[in-house]
Amino acid sequence: MDFAHSERTLALIDRLNRFMRDEVRPAEQTYASELGGSADWRQWRQPAAMEALKASAKQAGLWNLFLPDAEFGAGLSNVDYAPLAEIMGHSFIASEAFNCSAPDTGNMEVLLRYASAEQKAAWLMPLLAGEMRSAFCMTEPDVASSDATNMQATAVIDGDHVVLDGRKWWSTGIGHPHCRFVIFMGLSAPDAAPHARHSMVICPLDAPGVKIERMLSVFHGYDEPSGHGEISFSNVRLPGDHVIRGAGRGFENAQGRLGPGRIHHCMRAIGMAERALALLCERATKRKAFGKTLIELGGNADIVADLRMAIEQARLLTLKAAWLIDTQGVKAAMSEISQIKVIAPMVAQKAADAAMQIHGGAGVSDDFPLATLFAYARVLRLADGPDEVHRGVIAKLEIKAQQRTRAGT
Ligand SMILES: Cc1cc2nc3c(=O)[nH]c(=O)nc-3n(C[C@H](O)[C@H](O)[C@H](O)COP(=O)(O)OP(=O)(O)OC[C@H]3O[C@@H](n4cnc5c(N)ncnc54)[C@H](O)[C@@H]3O)c2cc1C
């Protein structure tokens, strides 16, 4: 395994760190002040601070870094991109500034790999340019969606059209003022094999029959201006050329967005853990109680040491998964991808929790980003598959591997 940063990555790390220090961090407060704070998503506006950051990042060549394709993206491997995603994880507004935020990144990867030339021109190019945003609609309120084969919403092929019906929720990004389309997953062939039943369809948000019913709250907030929505699709009739790669290929297409997307989430989670630990250390070494700094009290130094060890382990495991994807493909990395999807959010949650504790009452207020970090890490243990589902994958692969070892194959 070789996790050494290439010359190019080292240069990008340096430029990204400087951009974070000089432009992103200083813009955080302005960005927050430009959010309206309304629970009504129709009032949400894109903060001007974000558009300014995006323009500046694009000009600096810090744009679409997530995309391994050299023609449309930065052409970085997963190992190369991992430290950059970690740096972005230090700020909630960084990913969008560099056009590297979910769910657009996953949608761009799917469109780049599988979309037709016309679909690319209409939907991929504006996403790559940061001119529009998108959502991904798989999860449904009425079925346990951690088992994706449960999906009930339909995408029925009717002559040269496709008709969408059903209800989706937790569609992240649907409330963003720039969101123009969703990638909808729906049942097309109920009698086919379980993984050949569903299709992926590009559905413009203004298509007749699409209705955003509400935004869901996450720990009392709405994640303005992106939001997570519940949407109904009622007899939404679209030209057949909106299906990606043909009917029944939804699950095949979905594989394209899974592996690398999870690496991105995990590296950002590690960045979040680093930020929480940095805040913890700063507070614990400055503030005094009972005649000593907080770090000298009780087991607080052990907490710092334990977090440092946990973060290092999570980072190395994530890099291993990234390296496996780069060298042997997503399939060979399935266990490691699931391992980091369990580990990285858990470490970030633990770090945020410990940092909140050291900050006392201030830790749970919005004077520090810790409560937001905590909520974000907690949510990551559900989004993109709950921990238990990933543990199931790890155990299944482990048993198979052990059986192969015993059989000497
Ligand atoms: C903030 C946020 C953003 C999201 N963004 C998106 C998005 O953009 N697009 C999208 O389509 N979805 C999105 N999701 C949905 C997310 O992927 C689902 O919530 C997740 O897959 C779980 O599905 P579910 O909510 O139906 O839970 P269920 O399937 O009902 O599962 C509930 C619980 O059952 C248990 N469980 C399930 N399977 C197993 C198992 N095999 N072994 C043991 N226990 C198990 C787990 O405890 C699990 O948490 C988002 C979710 C959140 C919270």
Query: What are 133-166's pLDDT values in tens digits?
Result: 999 999 999 999 999 999 999 999 999 999 999 9
Rounded average pLDDT over 189-216: 96
**Does residue 258 carry a pLDDT above 80?**
no
pLDDT band at 112 (very low <50, low <70, confident <90, very high): very high
211-240, pLDDT tens digit by residue? 999 999 999 999 999 999 999 999 999 999
**Does residue 312 carry a pLDDT above 80?**
yes
Q: What percent of the chain has pLDDT over 70?
A: 99
Mean residue pLDDT of the chain comes to 95
pLDDT band at 2 (very low <50, low <70, confident <90, very high): confident
**Does residue 325 carry a pLDDT above 80?**
yes
**Does residue 256 carry a pLDDT above 80?**
no
**Does residue 259 carry a pLDDT above 80?**
no
Rounded average pLDDT over 199-217: 98
Task: Report pLDDT for 386.
Answer: 96
Dist. CA 29 → ligand 1 center (Å):
32
Task: Report pLDDT for 260.
Answer: 77
| Pocket lining: 30 vs ligand 1, CB cutoff 6 Å | no
Please give the Cα distance from 233 to 296 (Å, whole number).
58
| Pocket lining: 341 vs ligand 1, CB cutoff 6 Å | no
| Pocket lining: 172 vs ligand 1, CB cutoff 6 Å | yes
Dist. CA 139 → ligand 1 center (Å):
8
Rounded average pLDDT over 316-327: 94
Rounded average pLDDT over 97-109: 95
Q: Are 200 and 110 in contact (CB under 8 A)?
A: yes
| Pocket lining: 146 vs ligand 1, CB cutoff 6 Å | yes
In this structure, the residue with its CA closest to atom 35 of ligand 1 is 388
Q: Which of 185, 180, 112, 176 is nearest to 148 (CA)?
A: 185
